[in-house]
A and B are shown apart, each in its own frame.
Chain A
Amino acid sequence: MGMQTSKKNPAMRPRGLLFPALGFLVSITQVPFLVTIYLSIHHWNLLKPQEGRGYVGLQNFRDLTTIQPNVFLSVGNTLKLTIATVLLSTLMGFLVAIWLNHSFPGRAFVRTVVITPMLIMPVIVGEIWGRLFLDPGSGVIPWVTNSLFGYRLLPMSQFPMATVIFISVWEWTPFAYLILTSGLNALDSATIEAARVDGARARQVLRYITIPHLTSYLNITVLLGTVLILPTFGVIYATTAGGPGYATTNLSLAVYQQLFLKYSVGGASALALVNVVLVIFAMTGLVKLLGNLLVRNEVMS
């Protein structure tokens, strides 16, 4: 596109348009990230200033295998929580989206109400489940199992990881449901009508038309869900606080503990980098998919 006018007006030069945003992003996200890398190869304990802050090479990373919880445990917990939550909430969101995709009385209301969990701040989500449902004293669930079977089920201490996953699925199913519903809305009803007229059954329509159409939406749900769920923090902080022991400590929580319980800047930075590497792994797929979708109609001229 010919934008000769912009040359006359230096303030509106195309590059000038990008600088404020990019400069801001570089200084507040890129620079601290680089400093995190720097810190991860230095020794620095806020409680032991006498030890100094020397360069220690990869010692912080080696130490990650011996700290409590060791890095394998927190990486394992992060992966378990993320993979289970992403798969289960995508599956649930998919089923619910298809289930609610016809007209019934009160549809608009139901479709609005079911997205509520994703809108509530994670720390409240955790507290609601922890206090109102799972707490040994005031929780509904131990009370129900006790009145029905004479046995107090205490999910947070008996099945901590499954409990955190359950709560995360409750929180994230609406996310999958929303994206997949918009996918269903974009599906041309004439195509389905034509298939129906040609004698296709509901199941065949689902298998040969709806699901193939939803593939890209499913991809987005899974990839976006992964990068958003990997750094989960609030829900765990508010329910199990990473316990019992370290059974539900994921990387975000481990970084928090290293920094605010052990004051180990180097250790926390090394753990944070492990977390970033995991996210980058998940992100490559997402950035490719979304990036290509986003630049698809790039300026043509």
Chain B
Amino acid sequence: MRIIKFRRSLNTTAIYIYALLVIAPVILTVQNAFKTNVDSLSLPPKIIFKPTLVTIKGTLHSGYFAGLTNSLIIVLTSTMLAVALAIPAAFGLAFFKYKRSRQTIFWILSTAFMPSVGVVIPIYLVLNQIGLLDSRISMILLYTSMSLPLSVLILRSFYMDIPREVIEAATVDGASTRQLFSYVVGPLSIPGITTAAILAIIFAWNEFLFALMLTSSNAQTLPIFIVSAVTSMSTNLSSFSAAALLAAFPIVILGWISQKALVEGLTMGAVK
């Protein structure tokens, strides 16, 4: 018995060490954000140090808020647009029979994985031509198209889980499609909308290639803020860490509290 107990606690300790190793880079980054630059450059890394807010304050004043505002506007608007466009499509694909339902689903699935480089060149040329490079509106439309296929498939799979009997009962009682949607399907689809929105927010927040190619200053999102911050402060480790912390933490926390949605969303509801 004692041996088993000992092995158990040994295993648990090993798990803790593994978890610590996995997030060591994150811990070091968070620590650096609260160090002075001199402290952050010392090797071995100072585990115990006098925390300071100087670095974070400095970063806040060097373009972070502009990046944050752009990221929030672009990510949230595109997510809302994507979900708004996805709801009727998912509703249709879940509850009506189309001649090509199957092909449509397969086609949407394949657009979900179209690599950005396959579309970005003409988009860059056109936006350049019409003067909409580095604009929030073009980023919003692009991120909407990026989130839309996943949102349709996620929502559809949630709609499919609504028991047929519920729908039939409502139809027999004479509910119109619109009523069916507003009183029955709509309220039941809130978990699906949440899942789709979380996935869309995470993907759009972290998106880099479109943002790098199509924005520079006006519509600069947080990933691009990181790149420009990094180039301007070259070897300033603590400033980089503060910028990284400020840019990444909202999504890390969102992901932590929505693990179930992550799995359902990533697999488009094929895995629950």
Contact B177 A36 (CB under 8 A): no
Cα distance, A252 to B212, chains bound together (Å): 13
Query: Is B54 in the interface zone, CB < 8 Å from A?
Result: no
**Given the complex of chains A and B, what is the CA–CA distance between A12 and B92 in angstroms?**
9
A113 lies within 8 A of chain B by Cβ = yes
Q: Does B34 contact A (CB under 8 A)?
A: no
B19 touches A114 (CB 8 A): yes
Contact B271 A220 (CB under 8 A): yes
A182/B209 in contact, CB under 8 A: no
Rounded to whole angstroms, the CA-CA distance of A227 and B112 in the bound complex is: 10
Residue in B110, B113, B205, B256 whose Cβ sees the most chain A Cβ within 10 Å: B113
B121/A128 in contact, CB under 8 A = no
CB proximity to B under 8 Å, residues A20-65: 20-22, 24-25, 28-33, 35-36, 39
Q: B148 touching A231 by the CB < 8 A rule?
A: no
B156 at interface, CB cutoff 8 A = yes
Is there an interface contact between B119 and A121, defined as CB atoms closer than 8 Å? no
Task: Count chain B residues whose beta carbon lies closer than 8 angstroms to a beta carbon of A.
Answer: 108
- Please, which residue of chain B has its CB at the minimum distance from the CB of A227? B113
Interface size on A, residues (CB 8 A): 107
Interface flags for B133-160 (1: CB within 8 Å of A; 0: not) read: 0000000011011001100110011001
Residue ID in chain B nearest A235 by CB atoms: B208
Which residues 74-109 in B have Cβ within 8 Å of A in the complex?
A: 85-86, 88-89, 91-98, 101-102, 104-106, 108-109
Bound-state CA distance A99–B241 (Å) is: 32
Bound Cα distance A3, B176 (Å): 8
Within 8 A of B (CB), among A275-301: 275-276, 279-280, 283, 286-287, 290-291, 293-295, 297-301
Interface residues of B (CB under 8 A from A): 8, 11-12, 15-16, 18-19, 22-23, 25-26, 28-29, 32, 41, 43-45, 85-86, 88-89, 91-98, 101-102, 104-106, 108-111, 113-125, 141-142, 144-145, 148-149, 152-153, 156-157, 160, 164, 167-168, 171, 174-178, 181, 202, 205-206, 208-209, 212-213, 222-223, 226-227, 230, 235, 237, 240-241, 244, 247-248, 251-252, 254-256, 259-260, 262-263, 266-272
Add 20 more A-B contacts to A1-B167, A25-B111, A28-B145 (CB < 8 A).
A1-B96, A9-B178, A17-B89, A18-B89, A21-B85, A21-B148, A111-B259, A113-B22, A120-B252, A121-B247, A127-B226, A132-B241, A255-B117, A255-B121, A265-B121, A279-B113, A291-B105, A291-B109, A298-B101, A299-B94
